[in-house]
Amino acid sequence: MTTAVCPGSFDPFTLGHHYVVERAAACFDEVVITVVVNPNKRGMFSVDERIELIRADCADLPNVRVDRWTGLLVDYMRNEDIHTMVKGLRSAVDFDYEVPMAQMNRELADVETIFLLTDPRFAHVSSSLVKEVAKLGGDVTPFLSANTHRHLAARIAGERSI
Ligand code: PNS
């Protein structure tokens, strides 16, 4: 069975992420979306919330499951006996950022990184930009599922009321 990990922060999971995961799910028997926890960074959503949102967004993809990890990603890959990860590329900027990590992960644990191009519709979409635009009142509905958008709007409304 072929398995690939799609790692990321996913705070929150966007339609750009979904597009890449869907493409990966067509190439591998199984795809594991691994939410990588950064203990030094407090996200808008907790890791449990992110996982719940991703599960709902990927309910249409039966060979996709969601997991979490804190620490070096290659240690997770070793523990799970998975040798391939898939990353989405939006631009040459992503490529420049990803290449050293791919080389490092290969050297550390012989992990192969496969890059999939995102759809041009999502080339400008990132979780952080979506959060910034939404916080300032912009329309981010084209970039999130209806469920994730609802939760983001509620979270922002809650933050504002504090
Ligand atoms: O969605 P992001 O924040 O761009 O994802 C980046 C992520 C989490 C995949 C990357 O930072 C990562 O792999 N972090 C885990 C720690 C690690 O293994 N660092 C060394 C990378 S060579």
Gap from CA of 86 to ligand 1 centroid (Å): 12
Closest CA to 159 of 140, 141, 136: 136
Q: Mind listing the pLDDT tens digit for each residue in 58-96?
A: 999 999 999 999 999 999 999 999 999 999 999 999 999
pLDDT band at 159 (very low <50, low <70, confident <90, very high): low
Confirm if 62 and 22 have CB atoms less than 8 A apart. no
List beta partners, residue 84: 112
Q: Is the pLDDT of residue 160 over 60?
A: no
Question: Which residue CA neighbors atom 11 of ligand 1 most closely?
Answer: 8
| Interval 2-43: pLDDT, tens | 999 999 999 999 999 999 999 999 999 999 999 999 989 899
Check which CATH number belongs to the domain holding 22 and give it. 3.40.50.620
Specify the residue with its C-alpha closest to ligand 1, atom 19. 72
Predicted confidence at residue 161, as pLDDT, reads: 45
Q: What single letter denotes the amino acid at residue 26? A: A
Report the number of distinct structural domains present in the chain.
1
Question: Domain of 87?
Answer: 3-160
pLDDT, one tens digit per residue, over 100-157 is 999 999 999 999 999 999 999 999 999 999 999 999 999 999 999 999 999 999 999 9
Helix (H, G, I), strand (E, B) or coil at 5: strand
